[in-house]
Amino acid sequence: MRFACIVFPGSNCDVDMYHAIKDELGEEVEYVHHHEASLEGFDGVLLPGGFSYGDYLRSGAIARFSTIMKEIVKVAEEGKPVLGVCNGFQILLEAGLLPGAMKRNEQLTFICDNVTLRVEQSSSMFTNSYETFEEIRIPIAHGEGNYDCDDETYEELKRSNRIAFTYSGVNPNGSKGNIAGILNEQGNVLGMMPHPERAVDALLGGVDGIRLFKSIVKHWREQHVVNA
């Protein structure tokens, strides 16, 4: 499987994402810069964390207008997996690929910590290597991770089983319904604030994140076997 790791001005987790895919997962991955106009030949897209364009205006608000975003929207519409982590999640929200918006953390401070997540469903292409309601440990590092949406959207996310991860126990940022990650209607776009790419090696403190990437590859291979 071949991944595109998108690099915006201010991205700072792109190397972590690249390492997770190439060195830990053993799959193909290439850096693709924001000014590129094609994602031809890629099977999945990764939007890493960081501070795209310095987070001016709002986090992800300027990156949403980058040249590469038209191609990312196209990839999403084709049903290929698109994963946005932290700032990548914020960009997906700004681009309208996911519903809702991101606000400053409730405490108005930047948070860097390990948190416990609950896997709310294991039927998506991003979570099929987990058990439903399993608890995992994943790092967070953000100042604007307070996910919000109107009540109607929240009820729809619950009804359609599109909440992928929630914070278990302590909610670190005040996000609505303890939401840590959500899916689009088609189920091929995931945005999450925690960093699974930072939990792929025991030497880094944990391996719970690698199964998210394994889930994507597992789904892709199953689809290609069926369609072969």
Cite the active site residues. 86, 195, 197
Alpha helices by DSSP H, 60-118:
68-77, 87-94
Structure tokens at 73: 């929207």
Bridge partners of 163, per DSSP, are 182
Radius of gyration from C-alpha coordinates of the chain: 16
How far is Cα 191 from Cα 186, in angstroms, rounded to an integer?
13
- Give burial (CB, 10 Å; 0-12/13-18/19+) of 207: middle
The dihedrals phi and psi of 102, each to the nearest 5 degrees, come to -115, 135
Contacts of 91 (CB under 8 A, 6+ apart): 8, 47, 52, 60, 63, 64, 69, 84
**Contact between 190 and 182 (Cβ < 8 Å):** yes
**Contact between 67 and 37 (Cβ < 8 Å):** yes
The dihedrals phi and psi of 70, each to the nearest 5 degrees, come to -60, -40
Bridge partners of 181, per DSSP, are 165, 192
